[in-house]
């Protein structure tokens, strides 16, 4: 009797297993991708210095002074392609972007492995250094303001620009800034606290003023006087910002006058102006293959979108520049990819590994095991699409010539506390003018994963440094 009784739960369990194994797999979640062409060279830039100078100014001290946190301002962002020749073809622009991207990633990996050391400032990586500053704005420097193009970069800390007299300056779109013509320019004493925040400060023994040097992984460098100056953003004037005035700038620099560092380090623009703008900024990067309107950046409380989903920032004690987050997994077609676990993205106690959000990297890099799992899952989900040959760093491409739209499996990034569902155009992108589209992720042998700006397009990406968090608001460019 006992034997028969014990058989009942066993038979029930077997029956349940047979039922569950016969259940159909959940339907693949998909979305429509409207097929757009490679972006053409942008039209001439619409900025007018006369318009900028006609705006009434609001003025206040910079980040070192007590200041109410009710200030806000916004600026237009333009892609670096707008500084290219009008004769450049869409294919040439895209190929150049991939070359910049490879150089950028290589240098980020170099620094994340080595950390800052002798001869490096805390701003060791710059998009501009590798010619990979993807987005720039126009701002005024000095009093009266002289308007120049500056690259904005979340992977760099120091604010710097080329200054006359030049020992060596590269070609830029505007006249080189001359601090002798600015009434607000001031050198920084060698013993000032802000000078000591440089990892490797120097001192002009004759003037007793601070010197800076920023060296980059590709051998480029900028060096000169570390000073304070007034920066003007449309109608907002920000005084006494620590700025590197570079008299010797050598290497792979292009186009813009300098760089506005937006990293987490002590000398970045958000850190210096923290009190004034409440340590908040955000940007929304427009998909240039679908829209001609400019991208934008907002500083202050209005930078925070009400629809943003936030994930905590985590700190790398060995390297304070980058914005590290926790990526727990990725879904394709509505199902978590089994081979992608949080352990693949963990920032270890030595400061290696981890995941950063970066505005200057284009294509998201995932540590190789995670990428292979993601790629294989996407290939299965997109099995109805005609495959094409590999292209550059992309190994999953499709021939979509003759089509206007296709169905593709959904892709969701699962950050701690925030699930970010990507638009289809953020992961299947045109790579030529013949209808070839590729899966816009790549693998890396480095332990560091990087969420790039293609995947960030269309989201308002919110950096709330006071709250130590990053948020993503879909459809945030409106």
Distance, CA of 391 to CA of 320 (rounded, Å): 35
Q: Which two tokens stand for residue 290?
A: 């679908």
Helix (H, G, I), strand (E, B) or coil at 461: strand
Reply yes or no on whether 65 is catalytic: no
For the residues of 230-286, what is the DSSP string, one character each? Answer: EEEETTEEEEEEEEEEEEEEESS--BSSEEEE-SSSTTSHHHHTHHHHTTEEEEE--
Active-site entry in 81, 101, 153, 218:
153
Q: Is the dihedral angle over the CA atoms 249, 255, 257, 260 positive or is it negative? A: negative
For the residues of 326-365, what is the DSSP string, one character each? Answer: -EEEEEETTEE-TT--GGGG-B-TTS-B-EEE-SS--SEE
Q: Which two tokens stand for residue 266?
A: 């002590």
Q: Which two tokens stand for residue 270?
A: 């958000």
- Compute how many other C-beta atoms are within 10 angstroms of the C-beta atom of residue 188: 22
Reply yes or no on whether 358 is catalytic: yes
Distance, CA of 133 to CA of 97 (rounded, Å): 10
Q: Which stretches of 257-405 are DSSP H helices?
A: 269-272, 274-277, 368-381
DSSP code at position 181 = G
CB 419 within 8 A of CB 341: no
Catalytic site residues? Answer: 153, 358
């Amino acid at each position: 009797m006992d034997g028969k009784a014990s058989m009942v739960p066993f038979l029930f369990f077997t029956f349940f297993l047979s039922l569950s194994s016969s259940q159909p797999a959940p339907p693949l979640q998909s979305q429509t991708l409207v097929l757009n062409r490679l972006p053409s060279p942008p039209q001439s830039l619409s900025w007018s210095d006369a318009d900028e100078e006609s705006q009434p100014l609001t003025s206040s001290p910079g980040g070192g002074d007590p200041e109410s946190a009710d200030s806000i301002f916004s600026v237009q962002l333009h892609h670096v392609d707008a500084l290219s020749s009008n004769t450049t073809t869409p294919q040439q622009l895209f190929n150049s972007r991939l070359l910049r991207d490879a150089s950028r990633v290589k240098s980020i990996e170099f620094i994340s492995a080595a950390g800052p050391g002798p001869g490096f400032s805390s701003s060791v990586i710059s998009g501009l250094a590798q010619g990979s500053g993807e987005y720039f704005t126009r701002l005024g420097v000095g009093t009266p303001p002289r308007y120049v193009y500056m690259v904005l970069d979340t992977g760099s800390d120091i604010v710097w620009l080329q200054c006359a007299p030049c020992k060596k300056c590269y070609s830029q779109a505007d006249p080189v800034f001359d601090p002798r013509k600015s009434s607000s320019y001031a050198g920084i004493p060698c013993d000032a606290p802000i000078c000591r925040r440089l990892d490797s400060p120097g001192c002009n023994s004759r003037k007793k003023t601070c010197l800076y040097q920023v060296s980059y992984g590709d051998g480029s460098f900028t060096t000169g006087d570390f000073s304070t100056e007034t920066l003007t953003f449309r109608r907002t004037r920000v005084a006494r910002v620590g700025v590197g005035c570079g008299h010797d700038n050598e290497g792979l620099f292009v186009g813009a006058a300098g760089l506005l560092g937006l990293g987490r380090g002590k000398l970045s623009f958000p850190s210096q102006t923290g009190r004034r703008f409440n340590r908040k900024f955000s940007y929304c990067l427009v998909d240039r293959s679908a829209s001609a309107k400019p991208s934008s950046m907002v500083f202050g409380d209005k930078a925070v979108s009400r629809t943003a989903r936030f994930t905590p920032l985590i700190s790398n004690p060995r390297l304070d520049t980058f914005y590290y987050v926790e990526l727990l997994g990725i879904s394709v077609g509505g199902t978590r990819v089994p081979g992608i676990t949080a352990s693949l993205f963990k920032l270890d106690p030595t400061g290696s590994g981890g995941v950063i959000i970066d505005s200057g990297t284009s294509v998201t890099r995932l540590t190789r095991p995670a990428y292979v799992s993601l790629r294989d899952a996407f290939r299965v989900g997109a099995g109805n699409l005609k495959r094409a040959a590999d292209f550059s760093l992309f190994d999953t491409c499709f021939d979509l010539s003759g089509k206007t739209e296709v169905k593709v499996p959904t892709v969701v990034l699962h950050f701690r506390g925030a699930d970010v569902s990507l638009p289809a155009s953020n992961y299947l992108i045109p790579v030529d003018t013949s209808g070839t589209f590729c899966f816009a992720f790549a693998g890396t042998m480095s332990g560091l994963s990087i969420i790039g700006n293609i995947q960030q397009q269309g989201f308002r990406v919110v950096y709330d440094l006071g709250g130590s968090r990053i948020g993503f608001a879909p459809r945030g460019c409106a």
